[in-house]
Amino acid sequence: MDRDFSQELLDAIQRADRAGANAVIDAWAAGHSFPRVVPDLLSPTLETFGRLWAHGTQGASLAVGYVAAKIAEDVLSRLLLEAAAGGGPPQPAKGPVLMGNVEDDFHPLGRKMVAAFLRADGWEVHDLGVDISPAQFLDKAEETGARVIGASAMMYSTAKNVARLREEIDRRGMTGRIQLAVGGAVFKLRPELVEAFGGDGTAASAVEASALFERLWQRACTAAGEPRP
Amino acid sequence: MNSLERVLAALQNRPADRPAFLLNAGLYGSRLTGASLKDHYTDPAVYAEGQMAIRETFSPDLLVSPFALAGLGAAFGSRMSTPHRQPPNVAAFAAPSAEAALQLPLPDVDSHPQILYLRESIRILAKTYAGQAPVIGLLASPVDLPPLIIGLEAWLDALLFQPDTARALLHRLSPFFVDLGKAMLSDGATALALTANLANRFMVPAPVVEGLGLPSLAQALGEIPGPVILHHGGCPLLAHLADFMGLPNTVGYVVDAGEELAAARALLGPGPLLLGNLGGPTLAGLRPEEVSALCDQALAQRTTDPQFILATSGADIPLDTPPACLQAITDAVCRAGGARS
């Protein structure tokens, strides 16, 4: 009987079993080309996991999401190693996009998890770190050509700084052409704040960020009157 | 009845003239005194003046020591951010991993400036309000200390992938927690309030909760010679309350904003205090009448519960919260008291 690798991987993630997840991936890779692991195994499994995690399925702790991000990083590291051995790292297929915690926010975990999932899904991510001012976000966006900024804030007090980032985007005449994705505990608890503070969208979980960034990237291209590259 | 008598009545499950209430308004005190946040979070006398102003203005029954847990990390060598509109955070960690943190010396609770700031704030408030109002000492339990020293990511790495190292670090930090808790109580804190997020199933999987978090918490609390209130710390508590029931010396539980009070009491049964469930950080976005309605709703649910204390949950009440919103809380408990008489 064929093994259900996706279910096995999902089970390992839900047990927060990083070693077990990597063993499942190894077993899958024994019969497939490793570079296919992302589209054929990891992405669909993470998609299922993301739905379960976002709905707070029993046992889906924050740490389980963290382990899922670590597994995505593990896969990405192996892909980069294999690509380097083959003559050079692969070019990310999507982006560039920015990630950062807004000014006064020093809670990096969620941001790092989102960045890991985005990279695993082929995005070129510039991770700016914590306590990033609106000007820093916009300067980097102009430098890199990023069309989506992912801004993270954990608490209500710092989430207000998303509104300052919104103002800076508008002040520089980038309204629509740079889309603002927001995330963090406070937005999950109070989704109405996404719009109130000027966000263009949010995702129910870190795993679902890639789909959000896809939508926002399309919107930004449309606003700029450009076809998506 | 004064505030201390009111809270003691709640502890003893006796009726009081009105429900007691608590405002997590350590930060907000600086708004009333006009002190800079730098002074507020470094000078215990300035902080204490803020709590006195809170007491004079809004009459909460319980006062709090600085909710500045980053200072505990700083005592180990972490670097704190400069506070602008909120209490200081940890901006850079003292060590990169749990393994590295094992080599850090434990701060001396009798001499480290960050610790003395917390302790002196308690001493001033306890002396000022002796016999009148309880003072609650705020700190982090051993399971929540490592995120302040090595960061949450490195602590999760240890808890999930290096349980022996995580266990060793908990053993290392527990005596510091116990010494600080004892010191705060000897300084005059009536009780300690602490978080235990990394023993909550919302944060970590069951094996970590059951194998590391809860045993470490129970062992440390068993050495605290005074009452302890467990704070939800930003995590949902109601769904996991059963895990924390029966912990040594634990006399009360602060549930998260909006968590069902009746369900919490049904789980707890008589005995422990139940505190909550107003969202402190979100008060700034509400109109006073909306705050009033939330208070009335919570108080109406607990009319026959002498052990309920209306409290703001979550982090500090933000600086831009209109005073009228806090006054609405005071007015609501007074109305509830009037209804009792």
**How confident is the model over A123-158, as pLDDT tens digits?**
999 999 999 999 999 999 999 999 999 999 988 888
Give the closest-approach CA distance of B100 to chain A in angstroms.
20
Check B208 against A190: CB less than 8 A apart: no
Provide DSSP, B56-91.
HHH--SBEE----THHHHHHHTPEEPPPSSS---EE
Structure tokens, A195: 């719009």
> For position A229, what pLDDT does the model report?
56
Tokens of B266: 């049904």
Pick the CATH number of A94-223 from 1.10.10.10, 3.30.70.890, 3.40.50.280, 3.40.50.300: 3.40.50.280
Q: Cβ separation of B90 and A106 shorter than 8 Å?
A: yes
For residue A80, with 0-12 CB atoms within 10 Å meaning exposed, 13-18 middle and 19 or more buried, which class applies?
middle
Handedness of CA B300, B303, B306, B307 (dihedral sign): negative
- The alpha carbon of residue B156 is apart from the nearest alpha carbon of chain A, in Å, by 7
- Per-domain boundaries in chain B: 3-340
Closest CA to B315 of B247, B220, B231, B215: B231
A106–B234 CB contact, under 8 Å: no
User: Is 80 exceeded by the pLDDT of residue B239?
Assistant: yes
Pairs across A and B, CB distance < 8 A? 67
Q: What length is written for chain B?
A: 341
Is beta strand B79-80 parallel, antiparallel or unpaired with respect to B90-92?
antiparallel
Cα–Cα distance list, B19 to B31, B236, B288 (Å): 26, 24, 19
Residue type, B123: R
Residues of chain A by 3-state class (helix, strand, coil), percent to 5:
60, 10, 30
A134 touches chain B (CB under 8 A): no
Q: Please give the radius of gyration of chain B, using alpha carbons only, rounded to the nearest integer.
A: 19
Q: Can you give the length of chain A in residues?
A: 229
* Pick from A95, A114, A105: nearest CA to A197: A105
- Average pLDDT over every residue of B60-80: 97
Q: Chain-wide mean pLDDT for chain A? A: 89
Token digits for A62?
A: 């924050």
pLDDT, tens only, B187-230: 999 999 999 999 999 999 999 999 999 999 999 999 999 999 99
Cβ of B205 within 8 Å of Cβ of A59? The answer is yes
So where are chain A's domains? 5-85, 94-223
Residue B252 has pLDDT above 90, yes or no: yes
Share of chain B above pLDDT 90, in %: 94
Task: List the end-to-end C-alpha distance of chain A, in Å, as a whole number.
Answer: 43
Tell me whether residues A61 and B84 touch, CB distance under 8 A.
no
Report the pLDDT value the prediction gives residue A225, as an integer from 0 to 100: 86
Convert the pLDDT of each residue in B53-65 to its tens digit: 999 999 999 999 9
What percent of chain A is predicted at pLDDT more than 70?
94
Q: What is the distance between the alpha carbons of residues B243 and B202, in angstroms, rounded to a whole number?
A: 12
**A93 contact partners, CB below 8 Å, separation of at least 6:** A122
Contacts of B160 in chain A (CB under 8 A): 16, 18, 63, 66-67
Kindly give the interhelix angle for A134-144 and A156-171, rounded to the nearest 10 degrees: 50
Region label for A198, one of left (φ > 0), alpha (ψ between -120 and 50) or beta (otherwise)? left
**Could you give the 3-state DSSP secondary structure of residue A199?**
coil
Secondary structure of residue A215 in the 3-state scheme = helix
DSSP classification of residue B108:
P
pLDDT higher than threshold 80 for residue A92: no
- Residue contact A18–B89, C-beta within 8 A: no
Residue A38: the pLDDT is 86
**R_g of chain A computed on alpha carbons:** 18
- Distances in Å between the alpha carbon of B168 and those of B28, B101, B102, B157, B207? 38, 10, 8, 14, 17
Q: How confident is the model at residue B85 (pLDDT cuts 50, 70, 90)?
A: confident
DSSP state at residue B240: G
- The answer to whether the beta carbons of residues A164 and A113 sit under 8 Å apart is no
ipTM for the predicted complex: 0.85
What is the assigned CATH class of domain B3-340? alpha beta
Question: What's the gap in Å between the CA of B304 and the closest CA on chain A?
Answer: 30
Is A62 part of the contact surface with chain B (CB cutoff 8 Å)?
Answer: yes
pLDDT at A52: 83
Do residue B281 and residue A107 have CB atoms under 8 angstroms apart?
no
For chain A, positions 12-41, list CB contacts with chain B under 8 A. 15-16, 18
CA distance readout (Å), A32 to A8, A23, A45, A76, A127: 16, 14, 16, 16, 32
Measured between beta carbons, which residues in chain B are less than 8 angstroms from residue A112? 153
Residue among B138, B183, B139, B143 nearest B22 (CA):
B138
Q: Residues B7-13: what's their mean pLDDT?
A: 97
> Could you name the CATH architecture of A5-85?
Orthogonal Bundle (1.10)
CB within 8 Å: A156 and B284: yes
Query: Is the peptide bond preceding residue A96 cis, with omega within 30 degrees of 0?
Result: yes
First to last CA, chain B: 13
pLDDT at A90: 63
Q: Which residues of A touch B315 (CB under 8 A)?
A: 155-157
d(CA B223, CA A210): 48
The distance of B221 to chain A (nearest Cα, Å) reads 25
Distance between CA B243 and CA B254 in Å, rounded? 14
Q: What is the pTM of this model?
A: 0.89
Query: Strand ranges (DSSP E) for chain B?
Result: 21-22, 63-64, 79-80, 90-92, 135-140, 191-195, 228-231, 250-254, 273-279, 308-313
Rounded-to-integer distance, Cα B19 and Cα B165, Å: 45
